[in-house]
């Protein structure tokens, strides 16, 4: 990594360079850094916005979803035009970020990150970032991070509260040292059941971004060690020391080197989405390939009302269900939280 900055870099990042903990050396390191962000919703948009503005040289943004009107309250990279254009989140975010900073590379990938593709999506990344809303994908990130010895930053937010933890494999506790198994979904509040406020999102994601910047600038010595618990409403914030769980524990992931999520033995192909009355179906992991044009033509024949189509997705309403099919073959069926019902709808209207 080079510490030499050109004049354009000096001018653009001058205020950050003046901050002595970063300096020219840290800025040079940021520009040479590559990160992969998994999930570009509330936390993800704030993370991507902060890191692209800071000059992280390569940011790959992976997200499986489209934008809904209720996202705009907190997902800072999206606007009403993106919804009108039916843009998936990863594409809308990448377009906006390129307008913010043309001097770095931003890549948007519309995909469901899973055990079949995470290694490729994280290839070359110095750091992985958690912008997800579910434990399954976080455990997958954790598995890959530990298996390949790369740091990642866990983040979660709900209501006015949130958590953040930087994870350096082999040095700090990993996610499974702290949470051994995912909590049952019925006991887990989600943004769609408990709500979430913008300030909590911004603060949690900003802590994640700050820890990311420390790692990328070579200042891991300054990391906040432990699990941050933030309550934005009351202002009561704590840092839980989770290190004894790492040092004395018997973590299935970082101690026993069992990567249940990365090897595919845990995890599912149909996923009920974060309590929002929708299910994602991912047929590709069954080995099949989807002909996007054929699916679009089929839906045009059965849709109730208009069928919207662009290069990224086709969407329509069929009876009580809103169906969105992405170019990679995945579908999100809205109108049910029941996986079997969604599978049936998919098989009936989209294709088995
Ligand atoms: Zn562990």
**β-strand pairing of 270-272 with 278-281:** antiparallel
Rounded distance between C-alpha atoms, residue 277 and residue 159, angstroms: 19
pLDDT of amino acid 287? 47
Tell me, yes or no, whether 4 lies in a domain. Answer: no
Q: What backbone torsions phi and psi does residue 296 show, to the nearest 5 degrees?
A: -60, -45
Is the pLDDT at 148 greater than 90? The verdict is yes
Domain of 303: which CATH number? 3.30.310
| Domain match, 240 and 275 both | no
Question: Could you tell me where the beta strands, DSSP code E, fall in the chain?
Answer: 34-38, 58-63, 105-110, 127-130, 152-158, 161-167, 227-231, 237-240, 270-272, 278-281, 308-309, 313-318, 321-326, 331-334
Is the pLDDT at 2 greater than 60? The verdict is no
Q: How far is the CA of 169 from the centre of ligand 1 (A)?
A: 8
pLDDT of amino acid 258? 95
- 298 or 263, greater pLDDT: 263
Q: How far is the CA of 197 from the centre of ligand 1 (A)?
A: 31
Task: Please provide the average confidence, as pLDDT, over all residues in the chain.
Answer: 91
Question: How many other C-beta atoms can be found within 10 angstroms of the C-beta atom of residue 304?
Answer: 11
- 10 or 272, greater pLDDT: 10
Tell me, yes or no, whether 24 lies in a domain. Answer: no
Tell me, yes or no, whether 22 lies in a domain. Answer: no
pLDDT mean over 326-349: 85
pLDDT of amino acid 54? 98
pLDDT mean over 291-307: 85
Domain of 162: which CATH number? 3.40.50.720
Q: How far is the CA of 177 from the centre of ligand 1 (A)?
A: 4
Q: What b/e sequence results for 79-93 when a residue is b if at least 16 CB atoms lie within 10 Å of its CB, and e otherwise?
A: eeebbeebbbbbbbb
| Domain match, 183 and 146 both | yes
Number of domains within the chain: 2
> For the whole model, what pTM was predicted?
0.85
The percent of residues above 90 in pLDDT, for the chain, comes to 72
Lowest mean pLDDT among 10-14, 186-190, 235-239, 289-293: 186-190
Is the pLDDT at 3 greater than 90? The verdict is no
pLDDT mean over 27-51: 98
In sequence order, the 6+-apart residues with CB closer than 8 A to the CB of 340 are none
**Which of 218, 248, 278 is at the close of a domain?**
248
| Domain match, 77 and 216 both | yes
| Domain match, 241 and 279 both | no
DSSP type of residue 347: I
pLDDT of amino acid 133? 85
Q: How far is the CA of 171 from the centre of ligand 1 (A)?
A: 10
| Domain match, 75 and 210 both | yes
Q: How far is the CA of 226 from the centre of ligand 1 (A)?
A: 13
In sequence order, the 6+-apart residues with CB closer than 8 A to the CB of 112 are 64, 280, 282, 328, 330
Q: How far is the CA of 252 from the centre of ligand 1 (A)?
A: 7
Is the pLDDT at 286 greater than 50? The verdict is no
Tell me, yes or no, whether 81 lies in a domain. Answer: yes
| Domain match, 213 and 178 both | yes
Tell me, yes or no, whether 343 lies in a domain. Answer: yes
pLDDT mean over 161-173: 97
**Which of 215, 248, 281 is at the close of a domain?**
248
| Domain match, 276 and 137 both | no
Q: How far is the CA of 327 from the centre of ligand 1 (A)?
A: 36
| Domain match, 276 and 242 both | no
Tell me, yes or no, whether 11 lies in a domain. Answer: no
Is the pLDDT at 290 greater than 70? The verdict is no
**Which of 181, 214, 248 is at the close of a domain?**
248
The percent of residues above 70 in pLDDT, for the chain, comes to 93
Is the pLDDT at 347 greater than 90? The verdict is no
Tell me the C-alpha to C-alpha distance, in Å, between residue 223 and each of 19, 31, 147, 210.
Answer: 17, 20, 21, 9
DSSP type of residue 349: I
- 285 or 42, greater pLDDT: 42
Tell me, yes or no, whether 21 lies in a domain. Answer: no
| Domain match, 163 and 298 both | no
| Domain match, 83 and 150 both | yes
Q: How far is the CA of 240 from the centre of ligand 1 (A)?
A: 16
Is the pLDDT at 160 greater than 70? The verdict is yes
pLDDT of amino acid 340? 80
Is the pLDDT at 274 greater than 60? The verdict is yes
Task: Report pLDDT digits (tens) over 196-251.
Answer: 999 999 999 999 999 999 999 999 999 999 999 999 999 999 999 999 999 999 99
Is the pLDDT at 268 greater than 80? The verdict is no
Domain span including residue 102: 33-248
| Domain match, 230 and 298 both | no
- 344 or 64, greater pLDDT: 64
| Domain match, 243 and 278 both | no
Q: How far is the CA of 139 from the centre of ligand 1 (A)?
A: 11
Tell me, yes or no, whether 39 lies in a domain. Answer: yes
Q: How far is the CA of 74 from the centre of ligand 1 (A)?
A: 32
Q: How far is the CA of 179 from the centre of ligand 1 (A)?
A: 9
């Amino acid at each position: 990594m080079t510490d030499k900055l050109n004049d354009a870099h000096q001018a653009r990042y001058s205020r950050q360079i003046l901050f002595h903990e970063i300096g020219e050396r840290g800025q040079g390191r940021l520009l040479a850094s590559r990160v992969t962000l998994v999930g570009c919703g509330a936390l993800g948009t704030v993370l991507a916005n902060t890191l692209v503005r800071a000059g992280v040289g390569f940011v790959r943004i992976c997200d499986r979803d489209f934008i809904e009107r209720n996202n705009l309250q907190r997902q800072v990279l999206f606007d009403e035009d993106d919804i009108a254009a039916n843009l998936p989140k990863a594409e809308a975010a990448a377009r906006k970020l390129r307008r913010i900073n043309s001097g770095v590379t931003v890549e948007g990938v519309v995909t469901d990150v899973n055990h079949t593709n995470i290694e490729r999506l994280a290839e070359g990344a110095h750091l992985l970032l958690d912008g997800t809303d579910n434990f399954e994908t976080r455990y997958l990130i954790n598995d890959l991070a530990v298996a390949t010895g790369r740091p990642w930053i866990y983040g979660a937010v709900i209501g006015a509260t949130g958590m953040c933890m930087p994870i350096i494999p082999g040095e700090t506790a990993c996610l499974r040292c702290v949470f051994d198994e995912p909590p049952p979904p019925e006991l887990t509040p989600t943004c769609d059941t408990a709500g979430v406020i913008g300030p909590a999102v911004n603060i949690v994601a900003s802590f994640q971004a700050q820890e990311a910047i420390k790692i990328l600038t070579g200042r891991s010595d300054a990391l906040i060690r432990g699990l941050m618990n933030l309550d934005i409403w009351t202002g009561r914030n704590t840092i839980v020391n989770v290190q004894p769980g790492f040092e004395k524990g018997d973590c299935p992931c970082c101690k026993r080197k069992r990567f249940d999520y990365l090897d595919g033995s845990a995890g599912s192909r149909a996923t009920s989405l974060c309590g929002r009355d929708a299910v994602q179906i991912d047929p590709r992991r069954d080995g099949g390939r989807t002909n996007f044009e054929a699916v679009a033509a089929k839906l045009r024949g059965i849709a109730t009302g208009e069928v919207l189509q662009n290069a990224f997705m086709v969407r329509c309403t069929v009876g009580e269900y809103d169906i969105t099919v992405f170019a990679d073959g995945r579908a999100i069926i809205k109108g049910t939280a029941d996986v079997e019902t969604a599978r049936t709808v998919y098989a009936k209207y989209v294709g088995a």
